[in-house]
Structure 1
Amino acid sequence: MAASVFEFDRALVREPAESAVNGLRAVDRGAPEIAGLKAEHAAYVDALTVCGVTVERLAADEAFADSMFVEDPALVFGEGAILLRPGAASRLGEAAAILPELRARFATVLTLPETGFADGGDVLVTPDTVYIGLSARTDETGAEHLVAALRDLGRNGEIVTPPEGVLHLKTACSLLDAETLLVTEAMQNADLFAGMRTLVVPDGEEAAANALRVNDTVLIAKGSSRTAELLDGAGYTVREVALDEVMKLDAGLSCMSLRWRSERR
């Protein structure tokens, strides 16, 4: 299973909606400029393709301003998918909207009970454990339901509490390889991931902790030059992706796609 947590050959994305100007913003840096958002999304898809992933694009869904962030309402693996329950009221309907797409691609699609909330931004998959971070958008009930669903897929789930001020678990950490995480200093100090090595992003580049390992490449936000140097020095192949408009929303690299390795190999 170790390789499968960052080796992918398939991905599903949704085009940005014009309504994204009304997307959620925990910190208001202004509304994204839609042309720029679409260009960044296209470059992101290109980056996945260069990394060896076949990307399927879903049409924009204007009913949901944040619907381009497809990882929040679903969790996918080669062996099946889990429909989640996003904790923001404006996003809860995204789960029902993406359910037919999951059923068209996965023989097994599990759904969570209609109590509690679990958001994909709070889910970090490592080789041995799927960590579920409690947050304003993932509560204890939803996290416990997700642990049960993961068990049905043969995976181990563990609920953790990130440090105060972390919007989503993956806002402050990401997988670099089977044994290593990229983390902020606050996440390092929280010591949530037993047995995992950590690299700490440089001061002032905390947003770069939401990196994305895809096959042999680590994608990071463009402009995180010291983080790029840190990763390069540690032996990782790095590709920078522009995210200026994306990061005006409560989003980053990991949430813009659902990624999996198909079982036919």
Structure 2
Amino acid sequence: MTSYGRPPGGLPPQTALMTGRAVFTEAYAVIPGGVLSDIVASPLPFWEGTRSWTLARPMTGFAETFAQLLLELAPGGGSDRPEPDPAAEAALFVLDGEAALTIEGRASRLEPGGFAYIPPGAAWSLRNPAGAPARLQWIRKAYARLPGLPAPDPIIVNERELTPAPMSGSDGRWATTRFMDPEDLRHDMHVTIVTFEPGGLIPFEETHVMEHGLYVLEGKGVYKLNRDWVEVEAGDFMWLRAFCPQACYAGGPGRFRYLLYKDMNRLPALRPGARP
């Protein structure tokens, strides 16, 4: 069974050094797992037995297209009305524990590695049915509807059921596990798992219109973000604004893997608040 990175919780001792790896710039941010302590956790409205860490939210100079949260559900915790925004779509990924998810009356059980896509306007609920805490990533986005295209269907799958697709020319050292069909233009975002074998790398500085949220699931790596090189490891989160140059290599000794969000398949909006 794959083990995914998660924050340690608690609080550091008074003897700990303050200086760490957290970085916030106009082009990117790095939120190390170690700073996701109890003191920055927050409850959520209409959620019981749940605490959350907000990793990204729409705001000036930060994320523009999405919000991303880390949830910790105590046994029995969760919500029967988790999403107050009828325009919001969602993606869930279970890091550890179990989650009982119901979408429009259809019940599913998600284990570690389990992924769910929830269309905008769908009625859904989420509970922890087990006797141990459950932790998961929750990505929220205002869905960009297009005339003539319906919203996507729900998706329930575990990453173990999917075959990673090797990137061209990488000799299998760089691969992507896709939860959405890249040819399905109903989707305005993609969530994938990117895997690098030890020594694998992105061999050029990607510079593109897609905004990114990256949560490191396994291993460690060195990331080039704008003009800086930063070290990241399991449990860390990175935000990259559109056009932020990026590249990376896996630091070993094991695989380097992260959960990746990006906005896709829509023309850029030409007016503030306008739909593409």
TM-score, normalised to structure 1's length? 0.33
Greater strand share, structure number: 2
TM-score, normalised to structure 2's length? 0.32
* Structure index of larger Rg: 2
Q: Report 1 or 2 for greater relative contact order, CA contacts < 8 Å, sequence distance ≥ 6.
A: 1
